[in-house]
């Protein structure tokens, strides 16, 4: 009988000697918390692993294990210099470094060495398994992939995600669209009597991921399973106070300034079923904020407009560079249909996101024109 993806993942982890853990680079607490939870679990399981993320780690410093995160893959491959000694043997070997050069001195026992005796090549990656979390495609891994592409073709990839847009790029794909978060899926992999028990640090990481992904269990994609898993993580010792403090009580001044400017322009339509706001380049400049701040701001808008069924933010970070973020508050809103309408209006969809949010970019037009296009599409997609 063919093994299920879960069984395949457990088997390949047991067989592997050194594992590379990666996650999408977009500022995403669920992905990073899941990455750290998996890293800590594999440590406990006795599996050598390296967790890598180009994400901003300062906002995640309350998470256990965050100091273990690497931002690059330096040293993942050796550079090998081979010397053919079949005809001439080595008597002495030494090296020194001078003028930023490594000089290797080899004294032959007899005869001499020639240039064609030397061969140089890159060694194979030390990783025999790669686990990617929350990435719709390999490209969504950002510089981790683009600067180390060959590594991703030398080892099997386990691809774990909960979004229907995932491209299933792994040798093993565990895509659970009914899950609330990547953290929920990771927990389900740990729920094995033969596996080590989840400790407080692992539980804290995974609960942080679920809380963030479900917007404190208020999001449209929150499932009964999310509550069940959260309860088990609390039982395992997850530090709820640390999570709430880290997620919601440490907002930067720039974030709060942008939230204030967004709130000042907040609009509603169709008896508050739609809520939206426009953000200009001046708003980003004055608040000293960036596009990634919009993820938390759109959650705040959704949470503070009780009747809102769908919320969107249209931002122009710099002239003629637009970003549209849309989030639903009800499951019966067809985000796929909405995405198709916006693509027809020349919006370019981003592959990153979640089951209850979509994002787009556009390089032409004006805030007023794009607001009209977005609002028109949103109104068409809202259920009667």
Distance CA 140, CA 154 (A): 19
Do 10 and 34 have their domain in common? yes
What global pTM score does this model have?
0.78
Do 195 and 216 have their domain in common? yes
- DSSP alpha helix (H) spans, 179-309: 182-190, 200-213, 224-235, 240-248, 253-264, 281-287, 294-304
Predicted confidence at residue 190, as pLDDT, reads: 86
Predicted confidence at residue 108, as pLDDT, reads: 86
Highest mean pLDDT among 26-40, 171-185, 243-257: 171-185
Do 117 and 194 have their domain in common? no
The residue among 359, 356, 314, 353 whose CA lies nearest residue 333 is 356
Mean pLDDT of 338-361: 86
Among 75-79, 104-108, 122-126, 370-374, where is mean pLDDT lowest?
A: 75-79
Its domain, for residue 274, covers 253-381
Q: Choose one of 97, 122, 147: the last residue of a domain.
A: 122
Predicted confidence at residue 377, as pLDDT, reads: 96
Do 296 and 208 have their domain in common? no
Q: pLDDT digits over 195-242, tens only?
A: 678 999 999 999 999 999 988 888 777 889 999 999 999 999 999 999
Do 62 and 104 have their domain in common? no
Q: Choose one of 196, 228, 247: the last residue of a domain.
A: 247
Q: pLDDT digits over 270-280, tens only?
A: 999 999 999 99
Do 305 and 318 have their domain in common? yes
Do 91 and 31 have their domain in common? no
Q: pLDDT digits over 168-199, tens only?
A: 999 999 999 999 999 999 999 987 766 678 99
Predicted confidence at residue 59, as pLDDT, reads: 64
Do 300 and 377 have their domain in common? yes
Do 365 and 259 have their domain in common? yes
Q: Choose one of 122, 152, 184: the last residue of a domain.
A: 122
- Number of structural domains (the chain) is 3
């Amino acid at each position: 009988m063919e093994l299920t993806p879960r069984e395949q993942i457990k088997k390949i982890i047991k067989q592997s000697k050194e594992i590379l853990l990666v996650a999408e680079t977009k500022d995403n607490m669920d992905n990073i918390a899941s990455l750290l939870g998996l890293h800590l679990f594999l440590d406990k399981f006795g599996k050598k692993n390296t967790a890598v993320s180009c994400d901003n780690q300062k906002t995640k410093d309350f998470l256990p294990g965050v100091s273990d995160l690497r931002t690059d893959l330096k040293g993942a491959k050796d550079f090998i210099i081979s010397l053919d000694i079949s005809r001439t043997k080595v008597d002495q070997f030494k090296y020194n470094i001078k003028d930023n050069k490594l000089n290797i001195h080899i004294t032959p026992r007899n005869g001499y060495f020639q240039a064609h005796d030397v061969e140089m090549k890159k060694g194979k990656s030390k990783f025999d398994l790669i686990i990617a979390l929350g990435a719709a495609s390999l490209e969504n891994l950002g510089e981790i992939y683009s600067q180390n592409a060959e590594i991703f073709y030398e080892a099997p990839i386990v691809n774990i995600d909960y979004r229907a847009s995932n491209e299933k790029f792994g040798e093993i794909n565990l895509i659970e669209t009914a899950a609330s978060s990547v953290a929920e899926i990771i927990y389900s992999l740990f729920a094995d009597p033969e596996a080590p028990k989840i400790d407080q640090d692992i539980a804290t990481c995974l609960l942080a991921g679920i809380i963030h992904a479900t917007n404190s269990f208020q999001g449209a994609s929150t499932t009964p399973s999310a509550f069940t898993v959260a309860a088990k993580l609390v039982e395992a010792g997850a530090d709820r106070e640390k999570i709430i403090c880290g997620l919601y009580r440490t907002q930067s001044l720039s974030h709060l300034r942008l939230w204030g400017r967004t709130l000042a322009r907040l609009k509603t339509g169709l008896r508050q079923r739609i809520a939206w706001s426009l953000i200009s380049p001046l708003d980003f400049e004055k608040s000293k904020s960036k596009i990634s701040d919009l993820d938390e701001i759109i959650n705040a808008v959704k949470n503070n407009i009780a009747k809102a069924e769908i919320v969107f933010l249209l931002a122009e970070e710099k002239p003629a560079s637009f970003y549209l973020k849309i989030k639903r508050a009800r499951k019966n809103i067809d985000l796929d249909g909405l995405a198709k309408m916006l693509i027809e209006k020349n919006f370019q969809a981003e592959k990153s996101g979640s089951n209850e949010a979509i994002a787009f970019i556009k390089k032409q037009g004006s805030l007023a024109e794009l607001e009209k296009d977005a609002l028109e599409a949103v109104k068409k997609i809202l259920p009667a």
